[in-house]
Amino acid sequence: MDAPLVVVNFKTYSTAMADAAEALGRQMASVQTNARMVAVTSAFDLSTVSAISGLEVWSQHLDPVGQGSHTGWLEPETAIARGASGTIINHAEHKVSIEHVKQLMAMLPDGFPICACAADVAEARALAELGPTFIAVEPPELIGGDISVTTADPSIVSDTVAAVKEVNPNVRILCGAGVKNGQDVATAISLGAEGVLLASGVTKANDPESVLSDLVSKI
């Protein structure tokens, strides 16, 4: 298996925007680990955070539009020019259609990672038909909570892995929702996931650096 991923979604938390985004990105880059550390930042912070050495930076969303008359949309070519080296799409807080994902994938350069988020096994299976790089399964009711999906509903992780690999064995699985510590990460990997997608466990922590170190401690 390739290096496990620890993907931190900065969302629009005040503790992970503007100057705070740069500070959090530097903390992520300083963690000593073999894991693949990925910061998922606001479009406003792509340039600043992507300039940090040793940190991979993804966009929180992209739209399948070109440069032109598309007010308010996130156009991929400019995002890439500003430092995005991957993207998540269809997060529970920003749902899109399967067609949106399909059209976006057709516009992205070869090798550009796209992580499609799924609320359940059925949605993961449908997304797997498109062949994104990653699918992250995140039950919406657990997002931002104190109980990890690996504890509350471990079967959704293992069932998603089985369903997605049946459709497309090349798609890699991440899991998220409530992931807070190294044991959650280790459990996710034991269930077949290849990493985690989390947010508030890091972005709202009093000591993000310690949390980050703990997250990778069992990898």
The domain in which residue 22 lies consists of 5-215
The C-alpha atoms of residue 115 and residue 117 are separated, in whole angstroms, by 6
pLDDT at 160: 92
Q: Among the options 75, 91, 123, 194, which is catalytic?
A: 91
How many other C-beta atoms are found inside a 10 Å radius of the C-beta of residue 15? 17
Tell me, yes or no, if 138 is annotated catalytic. yes
For 139-188, write each residue's pLDDT tens digit.
777 666 666 676 667 788 899 999 999 999 999 999 987 777 888 888 98
Active-site residue (options: 56, 75, 123, 138) = 138
Alpha-helical runs (H) found in the chain: 19-30, 46-50, 76-81, 98-107, 121-128, 149-152, 154-167, 182-190, 200-203, 208-215
Query: Given this model, what pLDDT does residue 219 score?
Result: 84
pTM (2 decimals)? 0.94
pLDDT of residue 164: 96
Total Cβ atoms within 10 A of residue 31: 19
How far apart (Å, rounded) are the C-alpha atoms in residues 67 and 75?
7
Where residue 10 sits, what CATH number does that domain have? 3.20.20.70
Spell out, as residue ranges, where the chain has pLDDT lower than 50: none
Q: How many domains does the chain have?
A: 1
DSSP symbol at 36: E
Q: Is 93 labeled as catalytic in the residue annotation? A: no
pLDDT score at 1:
56
